[in-house]
Structure 1
């Protein structure tokens, strides 16, 4: 009667990011709605102009960008004594800009930080291009299957059995009861940009981490 082995194979690959998407917010507040709205709208026009001069989908440095609609709202804050204060109006808008040139990304952010009071960098999302991610996913799945084969054969060798042969291969979790595949590969990194003083003014420093692409497979083998 053949002996059955069920194993899990895994593999991970790491690569430096190829794209960095800046998540930006322009926001102001004040006692009257129209000046606040006009300030955000004016800064948004300036930011759009700075992006358009860099935008080239094929060559970059900006390969893609988008803006949201300007949001407005109002609230009555309370002071520390529990007294309600006058109405405060808010306006904000989100902007996303994807760069392939990280030095130009740092320069663009640094210029806007110094020139727009309401500019805030919420973070940078680091990613691979779609073609490179697909290529890496294919490679790590292949290595994960090879890892499963190696594990199964090691078990068979330890028992003094012969060559194993596969009878089932699936995404991790799908050979178990309930069929609940486990996700492979982590999300794109959402990392920081730090500002440091180099003596001649603020200098932005990128801190991207390598992108991890991983795969796990479950496999069932038998050996006679």
Structure 2
């Protein structure tokens, strides 16, 4: 046995406390008259925006935007199959990135007091520089696991020299036609409600495949 090709997979993951929360809210109003409906939506959205601007100035929000404004009308039907008078609707979607969990809790409690405002999502994540650094460390650790596995296989075969030929994200080595969908770098919240106002731990992981030659 002069030379053997060894193909292995390496995985690694770590947990990091979330640093930011991307929040999306929708201001929605409706009524029988278009003008007052639109005006009420604009006023309530302006109030929400004022709060975001205040948090931006204090450094508790890194960015915010008003992404979408919609105005439409429809004629609902009652239980007897009769069409009712025209109803007008207006909605404004806003999003913001909070860097302070306490400020987020306060702000959500404030906006939730209005029936016109719905919190549609709170997505926890890492700051960009933190994410990049953690992903690099996790990727390097996954490669090291693959190297150690290849070395263990080679040792079991009585071979001493192990040389890496290919390293790729899971599923990308051409010879693995039956591989599952590639598992790339990911960051997700640990188990628990997505609307938790305490930053959850995020799981950052990587899976790689490596091909080695042992002799």
**TM-score, structure 2 length as denominator?**
0.89
Alpha-carbon spacing, 1:187–1:32, altered in 2? closer, same or farther (3 Å): farther
Answer yes or no: is the 8 Å Cα contact 1:191–1:208 preserved in 2.
no
After superposition, where does 1:163-174 map in structure 2 within 5 Å?
Answer: 163-174=161-172
Instruction: State the secondary structure of the residue aligned to 1:92.
Output: strand
List, as ranges, runs of 4+ consecutive aligned residues in structure 1 with deviation greater than 4 Å. Answer: 177-181, 187-191
User: 1:209 — aligned with what?
Assistant: 200
**Cα deviation code 1:87-143 (max 9, x no counterpart):** 1111001111111110110101101212x3201111211110110111011101100
Instruction: State the secondary structure of the residue aligned to 1:105.
Output: helix
Instruction: State the secondary structure of the residue aligned to 1:184.
Output: coil
Instruction: State the secondary structure of the residue aligned to 1:98.
Output: strand
Task: Give the deviation of 1:69 after TM superposition.
Answer: 3.9
User: 1:218 — aligned with what?
Assistant: 209
Task: Give the deviation of 1:155 after TM superposition.
Answer: 1.3
Q: How many residues align?
A: 210
CA distance in 1, matches of 2:77, 2:187: 40
User: 1:137 — aligned with what?
Assistant: 135
User: 1:93 — aligned with what?
Assistant: 92
After superposition, where does 1:36-55 map in structure 2 within 5 Å?
Answer: 36-55=37-56
After superposition, where does 1:100-119 map in structure 2 within 5 Å?
Answer: 100-114=99-113, 116-119=114-117
Answer yes or no: is the 8 Å Cα contact 1:191–1:207 preserved in 2.
no
After superposition, where does 1:1-224 map in structure 2 within 5 Å?
Answer: 1-56=2-57, 60-114=59-113, 116-177=114-175, 182-186=182-186, 189=189, 192-193=194-195, 206-224=197-215
CA distance in 2, matches of 1:66, 1:215: 32
Shifted more, 23-32 versus 172-181: the winner is 172-181
CA distance in 2, matches of 1:187, 1:39: 39
Answer yes or no: is the 8 Å Cα contact 1:123–1:191 preserved in 2.
no
Alpha-carbon spacing, 1:33–1:187, altered in 2? closer, same or farther (3 Å): farther
Q: CA RMSD in A?
A: 2.2
Instruction: State the secondary structure of the residue aligned to 2:112.
Output: helix
**TM-score, structure 1 length as denominator?**
0.86
Where structure 2 has 5 or more consecutive residues not aligned to the other structure, the ranges are: none
Alpha-carbon spacing, 1:220–1:178, altered in 2? closer, same or farther (3 Å): closer
CA distance in 1, matches of 2:165, 2:213: 7
Task: Give the deviation of 1:207 after TM superposition.
Answer: 4.9
Task: Give the deviation of 1:210 after TM superposition.
Answer: 1.7
Task: Give the deviation of 1:171 after TM superposition.
Answer: 2.0
Task: Give the deviation of 1:61 after TM superposition.
Answer: 0.7
